[in-house]
């Protein structure tokens, strides 16, 4: 799959960051994979090449690491100034 270079870089960082979170919490790859309902191979793919995995598996690992709500809040337009500005502009346009 040909990804935009910025996308590829971001995915690599996200995979590496997930591994860092796992290690900081003292969790083995086997334990996280078991709790997420995925194989160790899938977890390794998430940590090394997250662009190749299914979104639900990525989210399952986020949940095991306690990061799912943080990620969900990060993309919620009502939780950021930019999102709130765009929502306000959209409402005003409709008036």
Nearest CA to 28 among 40, 16, 38, 17?
A: 40
Average pLDDT of span 39-59:
96
The whole-number pLDDT of residue 3 equals 85
The whole-model pTM stands at: 0.86
State pLDDT tens for residues 7-34.
Answer: 999 999 999 999 999 999 999 999 999 9
12 contacts 5 by C-beta, under 8 angstroms: no
Tokens of 26: 């003292």
The whole-number pLDDT of residue 43 equals 98
53 contacts 45 by C-beta, under 8 angstroms: yes
Can you tell me which residue has the tokens 């959209």?
A: 90
To the question of domain 5-94 being in CATH 3.40.50.150, the answer is no
Work out whether the CA dihedral 83, 86, 88, 94 comes out positive or negative: negative
């Amino acid at each position: 799959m040909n990804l935009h270079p910025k996308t590829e870089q971001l995915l690599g960082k996200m995979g590496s960051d997930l591994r860092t979170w796992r290690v900081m919490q003292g969790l083995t790859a086997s334990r996280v994979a078991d709790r997420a309902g995925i194989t160790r191979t899938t977890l390794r793919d998430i940590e090394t090449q997250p662009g190749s995995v299914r979104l639900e598996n990525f989210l399952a690992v986020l949940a095991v690491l306690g990061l799912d709500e943080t990620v969900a809040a990060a993309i919620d337009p009502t939780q950021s100034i930019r999102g709130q500005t765009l929502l306000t502009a959209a409402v005003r346009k409709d008036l």
